Amino acid sequence: MIAENFNDEVLRDGFGNLLNTVLQDNAGSINNIEQVRLVSHWYEKAKNNRKAIPTMIINGAQEKLLGLMVSHLEGYLTDSITTKIRIHNGEKVLEDFEFAYSWKFYVEYVKKVDLLECGKVKITFDIKVGGKLENARFNRKESPCLLNVDRFVGLVTISIANVQVDLVGIPSVSIPSCIKLCRNQLIEIRDLSLNTKVNKGPI
């Protein structure tokens, strides 16, 4: 059973603001990647407003990355919390919780003609998050318990690690990249609630 009052909107808002800043600050560099210019050409062929295309590309990446980041971070923290529990006076309490984790997520732009896929550009992002949960305590009114956190604070590094192009009739081309979009960007989220796998009550 997963508690339904998990405050994922707080986590989503925090990382959404960070991603928006990082991607908008680097929009020019991203849109100037040769393979991304191919995506722009596809949008033009589909009769999209040429001036709006760079923003459409960035917004598409932001929406996809945000969903993936929040989902994976929720799962990682939920699983990791159980390893940091100790028993104090017969009750489960959480030790100081610091973590460092990295993910690789990709965003795809697909060209279709008559509903058939004929081209695809895949951008792989390397995302590293290191941080800690401050003043975290279990809410024992729920089972499994919610973990209420006064402050989530961390540093985020985001890079473009790879760009892959697949076109019908042409061998797939994968271009390694190392475009650093941000390094150790501070993120701070207050009043966060996390699902746990911890049942309420004593040992």
pLDDT (tens digit per residue) in 56-81: 999 999 999 999 998 898 888 888 87
Residue 92 has pLDDT above 70, yes or no: no
How far, in Å, CA of 159 to CA of 176, rounded? 11
| 6-33 pLDDT per residue, tens | 456 888 999 999 999 999 999 999 999 8
Alpha-carbon gap, residue 181 to 58, rounded angstroms: 13
Structure tokens at 35: 């393979």
Sketch the domain layout of the chain as residue ranges: 8-195
In sequence order, the 6+-apart residues with CB closer than 8 A to the CB of 65 are: 19, 105, 107, 125, 127
pLDDT number for residue 81: 78
Q: Which pTM was predicted?
A: 0.83
- Taking the mean position of all CA atoms in its chain, how far away is CA 36? 21
The Cα–Cα gap between 125 and 26 comes to 13
Beta-bridge partner residues of 192? 149
